[in-house]
């Protein structure tokens, strides 16, 4: 059984770096980072693991908003956690649920993004939320 923090995103695409950045700040969890090809996500955990996923999201909420979803208790809104690669993180979590391969606990943190252009820096609001989420997880 391990405590695993998975940061998802692309460090070169503006606010899409949020998950990566959180994973880089937290030292009290095992950490993995995923860019694309999120199907690999399902291979990262075992069924008895405690897992947290941090990803940028686009839900229409104010930029920097943090949502926490207990993915064991409820499905993920597919549109919010999308990917330019056909199997996004929400689809992988639902695939794992169908196949009985979800970990023991799975919390998904979403940080509302403003822009994800190649080469852009993170928004000020997202930077602040990255710090807050990292502190929360570090102390968890």
Partner 1 sequence: MRTHQSSERQVKNMPNERREIAVDYLARVEGEGAMYLKIDGEEVTDLQFNIFEPPRFYEAFLRGRYFAEAPDITARICGICPVAYQTSAVNAMENAAGMFIGGQIRELRRLLYFGEWIESHTLHVYMLHAPDFLGYPSAIEMAADLPDAVTNALRLKKLGNSIMTIVGGREIHPVNVRVGGFYRSPTRRELQSLVEELEWSLETAEATVSLVAGFDFPDFEMDYEFVALHHPDEYAITDGRIISSSGLDIDPTQWPEYFEETHVEWSNALHANIIGGGSYYVGPMARFALNGDQLSPRAKAAAAGVGLVPGESNPFKSIIVRAVEIVHACEESLAIINGYEPPDPSFVDVEPRSVVGHGASEAPRGLLYHRYEVDEAGLIADAQIVPPTSQNQRSIEEDLRQFVKGRTHLDDETLQWQLEQAIRNYDPCISCATHFLDLTVERVQDA
Identify residues 31-50 at the interface with partner 1 (CB under 8 A). Answer: 34-37, 39-40, 42-43
Find the binder of partner 1 among 85, 104, 124, 135 (CB under 8 A).
85
Residue 74: is it exposed, middle or buried by C-beta count within 10 angstroms (0-12/13-18/19+)? exposed
Residue pair 111/57 in contact by the 8 Å Cβ criterion:
yes
User: What would the two tokens of residue 30 be?
Assistant: 């095992």
Of residues 31 and 87, the one with the C-beta less far from partner 1: 87
Identify residues 86-115 at the interface with partner 1 (CB under 8 A). Answer: 86-87, 91, 94-95, 98-99
User: What would the two tokens of residue 63 be?
Assistant: 């930029």
Q: Residue 30, interface with partner 1 (CB under 8 A)?
A: no
- Nearest-approach distance from CB 66 to partner 1, in angstroms: 25
Q: Determine the interface stretch with partner 1 among 15-23, 30-38, 54-62, 105-113 (rule: CB under 8 A).
A: 30-38
Find the binder of partner 1 among 27, 60, 74, 119 (CB under 8 A).
119
DSSP letter string over 8-26? ES-TTSGGGGHHHHHHHH-
Distance of alpha carbon 43 from alpha carbon 20, whole angstroms: 18
For residue 81, the Cα-to-chain-centroid distance in whole angstroms is: 8
State the residues that interact with partner 1 by CB under 8 A. 10, 12, 34-37, 39-40, 42-43, 84-87, 91, 94-95, 98-99, 117-119
């Amino acid at each position: 059984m391990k405590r695993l923090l998975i940061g998802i995103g692309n460090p070169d695409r503006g606010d899409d770096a949020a998950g990566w950045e959180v994973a880089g700040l937290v030292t009290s969890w095992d950490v993995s980072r995923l860019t694309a090809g999120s199907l690999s996500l399902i291979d990262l955990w075992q069924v008895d693991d405690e897992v947290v996923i941090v990803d940028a999201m686009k839900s229409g909420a104010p930029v920097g908003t943090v949502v926490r979803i207990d993915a064991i208790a409820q499905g993920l809104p597919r549109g919010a956690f999308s990917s330019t690669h056909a199997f996004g993180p929400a689809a992988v979590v639902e695939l794992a649920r169908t196949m009985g391969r979800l970990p023991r606990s799975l919390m998904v943190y979403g940080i509302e993004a403003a822009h994800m252009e190649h080469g852009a820096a993170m928004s000020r609001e997202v930077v602040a939320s990255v710090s807050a989420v990292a502190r929360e997880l570090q102390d968890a």
